[in-house]
């Protein structure tokens, strides 16, 4: 995001812009997952499946963006030496995707045969997923994004934001 002060000097993206923009994407993902769970509560499994597909598409793209644009820069700038190495983010991304794939399968079964027990099992699995997601979110909020905001030149931060395949919506 480019911002212009009154003198017309381009300050580019500032540190908090970068963190805010990336965390804003997490907030949008959370909203979409919430919509999915609301549909589950309504036992509207077709709507739940559509909302999950929306969520999944955006989560996949966000993960892909991080793995192609964000994490390579983080590693190149020395992010590996801290207590949040790239392999940790990649492992969490893998786990998140595995969980959502499993939700797809469970939901397809629910569409065929709506029943309380599998629905409750799905909510239980989603509680575990949300716990993993919370840890991942905190690691990115507190380690990954602020590290890049501090160490990546403003023009590079702007390049990352411009290259995102999913930048909201
Ligand atoms: Fe993220
Ligand atoms: Fe991530």
Q: Which domains are present in the chain?
A: 15-163 (1.20.120.520)
Find where tokens 């993902």 sit. Answer: 29
pTM for the model stands at 0.90
Q: Answer yes or no: is pLDDT of 4 > 90.
A: no
Q: What distance in angstroms lies between residue 140's CA and the mean position of ligand 1's atoms?
A: 6
Instruction: Give residue-wise pLDDT tens across range 109-125.
Output: 999 999 999 999 999 99
pLDDT at 3 over 70: no
Ligand 1 centroid to residue 56 C-alpha, Å = 14
**Is residue 80 within 8 Å of 86, Cβ to Cβ?**
yes
- Give me ligand 1 centre to Cα 153, in Å: 20
Measured in Å, residue 114 CA sits from the centre of ligand 2 at 33
Rounded CA gap, 63 and 100, in Å? Answer: 13
Distance 3 CA to ligand 1 centre (A): 24
The two tokens of residue 4 are 């212009």
CA-CA distances (angstroms) from residue 159 to 85, 136, 153?
Answer: 23, 24, 10
Helix or strand run (H / E) with residue 91: helix 86-112
3 CA → ligand 2 middle, Å? 27
> 71, 93, 81, 68: which is closest to 152 by C-alpha?
71
pLDDT, one tens digit per residue, over 67-100 is 999 999 999 999 988 889 999 999 999 999 999 9
Q: What's the pLDDT band for 18 if we cut at 50, 70, 90?
A: very high
Cβ–Cβ < 8 Å for 4, 152:
no
d(CA 147, CA 84): 11
Q: What is the pLDDT of residue 82?
A: 81
């Amino acid at each position: 995001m480019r911002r212009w002060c009154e003198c017309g000097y381009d300050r580019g993206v500032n540190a908090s812009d970068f963190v805010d923009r990336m965390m804003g994407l997490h907030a949008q993902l959370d909203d979409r997952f919430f919509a999915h769970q609301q549909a589950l509560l309504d036992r509207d499994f077709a709507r739940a499946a559509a909302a999950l597909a929306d969520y999944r598409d955006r989560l996949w793209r966000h993960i892909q963006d991080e793995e192609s644009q964000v994490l390579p820069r983080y590693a190149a700038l020395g992010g590996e030496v801290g207590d949040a190495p790239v392999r940790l983010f990649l492992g969490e991304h893998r786990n998140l995707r595995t969980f959502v794939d499993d939700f797809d399968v469970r939901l397809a079964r629910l569409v065929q045969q709506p029943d309380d027990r599998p629905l409750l099992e799905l909510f239980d699995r989603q509680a575990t997923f949300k716990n993993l997601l919370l840890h991942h979110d905190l690691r990115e909020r507190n380690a990954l994004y602020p590290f890049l905001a501090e160490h990546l030149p403003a023009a590079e931060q702007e390049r990352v934001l411009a290259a995102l395949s999913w930048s909201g919506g």
